[in-house]
Amino acid sequence: MAIITLTTDLGDKDIYLAALKGSIYKLLPTVNIVDITNSVSAFNIQQAAFILKNSFHYFPDGTVHLIGIDTVYSDETKYLAVRYKNHYFVGADNGIFSLMFAGDPDEIFEINIMQDLKFLHFPLADIFVKTACHLASGGDVNQIALPVTSIEKKMNLQPVLEKNLIKGMVIYIDSFQNVITNITKDLFNQIQQGRQFVLTFKRNESINHLSWHYSEVPEGEKLCLFGISDHLEIAINKGNASGLLGLNLGDSVIIDFQG
């Protein structure tokens, strides 16, 4: 069963998403197209990388993930097909792959399909679609791309560690307005070592208990937990944590462990 997922900033109000999906079905009518999201903020590769990094592994091996973020054609633009953990990712070499993967990709290929000039402003419906359909139908990547050895590197901002502190930041706010930080469960456990803690953030707010689920506290109360992404979240049970707590992208959070 061929599956192509879409992670784009195309939205759902214009013709672009329909044009993209229609182009896929023209080439591969039996494919299953799955929208991971088409609501990424325009050109926001960090946001797209976070979403795709935490969702692709739920799909079967062999799934092809088409990434439509910052793909406008230029003479300097490289389009890549990247294999990682038995999945293929098709996207622009704009740093998103380095933000998305925990390690180096298994294989990297630069796509050498000729750009159709009538799609010059919208390569998603041309080069990307042809590549994704070729791979999803079991085609040999070497027929459409050349092996390369590197990708453009961008760095995720990492938490600052001290003996009894983790200084992190907000990296994502989901549709429920839960606030997700760059502090992972592995890092938290490594530094905590069973100790009590106080999580502090904007407006001198604090939390000193790690919850297992959102409803562990009364409705309207704040909490922190490790969600499906294994990143520390600050939430309000059935409430808007970002708005009510004044937390936005880039804001600092500090975990102070009792010494």
Residues 35, 90 within the same domain? yes
- pLDDT digit string, tens, across residues 199-253: 999 878 899 999 999 999 999 999 999 999 999 999 999 999 999 999 999 999 9
Give the integer Cα–Cα distance in Å for 22 and 82.
24
Size (the chain), residues: 259
Cα–Cα distances (Å) from 21 to 12, 44, 53, 142, in that order, read 12, 21, 22, 25
Give the integer Cα–Cα distance in Å for 255 and 190.
13
- pLDDT digit string, tens, across residues 61-80: 999 999 999 988 777 789 99
- State the amino acid at position 135 in one-letter form: L
pTM exceeds 0.85: yes
User: What CATH number did the domain enclosing 12 receive?
Assistant: 3.40.50.10790
- pLDDT digit string, tens, across residues 176-211: 999 999 999 999 999 998 899 999 998 788 999 999
- Boundary-marking domain end, from 99, 120, 147: 147
Give the integer Cα–Cα distance in Å for 11 and 9.
6
Domain of residue 235: give its range. Answer: 160-257
Number of Cβ within a 10 Å radius of residue 18: 11
Q: Report percent pLDDT > 70 for the chain.
A: 98
Number of Cβ within a 10 Å radius of residue 32: 12
